[in-house]
Amino acid sequence: MLDDTIAALSTGSLPSGVAVVRLSGPAVREALLRIAGDLPQERRASLRRFRGADGRLIDRGIALFFAGPRSVTGEDLAEFHLHGGRAVVAALIEALTALPGVRLAVAGEFTRRAFENGRIDLTEAEGLADLLAAETEGQRRMAVAQAGGALRAVYEGWMRRLTHARAMIEASFDFADEGDVSADVGADVASDMRHLADDMRAHLAKAGRGEILREGYKVAIVGAPNAGKSSLLNALADREVAIVTEVPGTTRDVIEATLDLGGIPVRFSDTAGIRETSDRVEAIGVERARAVMASADLVLALVGPDQAPGPLAQLGELLTHVKHPLMLVGQDEGAREASSPVHNPARQILTIRTKVDLPARAAATITDSDRDHRFDFAISTRTGDGLGALVERIALMAGEAAGDPDEAVPVRVRHRELVAEALHILDRYLDHPSIPAEVAAETLRQAGDRLGALTGQVGVEDLLDVIFSEFCIGK
Ligand X SMILES: Nc1nc2c(c(=O)[nH]1)N(C=O)[C@@H](CNc1ccc(C(=O)N[C@@H](CCC(=O)O)C(=O)O)cc1)CN2
Ligand Y SMILES: Nc1nc2c(ncn2[C@@H]2O[C@H](COP(=O)(O)OP(=O)(O)OP(=O)(O)O)[C@@H](O)[C@H]2O)c(=O)[nH]1
Does residue 351 belong to the site contacting ligand Y (CB under 6 A)?
A: no
Question: How far is Cα 17 from Cα 10, in angstroms, rounded to an integer?
Answer: 14
Q: How many residues of this chain bind ligand X (CB under 6 A)?
A: 6
Interface pick for Mg ion out of 139, 251, 307, 380 (rule CB under 5 A): 251
Question: Which DSSP state fits 473?
Answer: T
Does residue 228 belong to the site contacting ligand Y (CB under 6 A)?
A: yes
Write out the binding residues for ligand X, residues 72-101 only, by CB under 6 A. Answer: 72, 79
104 CB-contact burial (10 Å; exposed 0-12 / middle 13-18 / buried 19+): middle
Binding mask 390-429 for ligand Y (x = CB under 6 A): ----------------------------------------
Does residue 124 belong to the site contacting ligand X (CB under 6 A)?
A: no
With CB cut-offs between 5 and 8 Å by kind, which of ligand X, ligand Y, Mg ion, none does residue 72 bind? ligand X
The 3-state secondary structure of 81-129, one letter per residue? EEEECHHHHHHHHHHHHCCCCEEECCCCHHHHHHHHCCCCCHHHHHHHH
Does residue 71 belong to the site contacting ligand Y (CB under 6 A)?
A: no
Give the closest residue to 185 by CA, choosing from 172, 194, 195.
172
With CB cut-offs between 5 and 8 Å by kind, which of Mg ion, ligand X, ligand Y, none does residue 66 bind? ligand X
Least distance between ligand X and beta carbon 128 (Å): 7
Integer CA distances (angstroms), 435 to 161, 175, 361, 444, in order: 20, 17, 72, 12
Axis crossing angle, helix 183-205 with helix 207-215, rounded to the nearest 10: 30
Contact stretch for ligand X (CB under 6 A) within 68-76, 415-423, 435-443, 461-469: 68-76
Interface pick for ligand Y out of 229, 290, 412, 416 (rule CB under 6 A): 229
Interface pick for ligand X out of 19, 24, 61, 71 (rule CB under 6 A): 71
With CB cut-offs between 5 and 8 Å by kind, which of ligand X, ligand Y, Mg ion, none does residue 226 bind? ligand Y
Axis crossing angle, helix 150-175 with helix 122-133, rounded to the nearest 10: 170
Does residue 230 belong to the site contacting Mg ion (CB under 5 A)?
A: yes
With CB cut-offs between 5 and 8 Å by kind, which of ligand Y, ligand X, Mg ion, none does residue 84 bind? none
- What single letter denotes the amino acid at residue 296? A
Bridge partners (DSSP) of residue 301 are 222, 351
Does residue 139 belong to the site contacting ligand Y (CB under 6 A)?
A: no
With CB cut-offs between 5 and 8 Å by kind, which of ligand X, ligand Y, Mg ion, none does residue 248 bind? ligand Y
Question: How far is Cα 307 from Cα 13, in angstroms, rounded to an integer?
Answer: 50
Select 171 or 378, whichever has its Cβ closest to ligand Y.
378
Does residue 471 belong to the site contacting ligand X (CB under 6 A)?
A: no
410 is in an annotated binding site: no
- CB-CB neighbours of 410 under 10 Å: 25
475 is in an annotated binding site: yes
Query: By 3-state DSSP, what share of the chain in percent is helix, strand and coil, each rounded to 5?
Result: 45, 15, 35
Does residue 66 belong to the site contacting ligand X (CB under 6 A)?
A: yes
Question: How far is Cα 307 from Cα 373, in angstroms, rounded to an integer?
Answer: 12
Does residue 111 belong to the site contacting Mg ion (CB under 5 A)?
A: no
Q: Is the peptide bond before 69 cis (omega within 30 degrees of 0)?
A: yes
> Which residues contact Mg ion by CB under 5 A?
229-230, 250-251
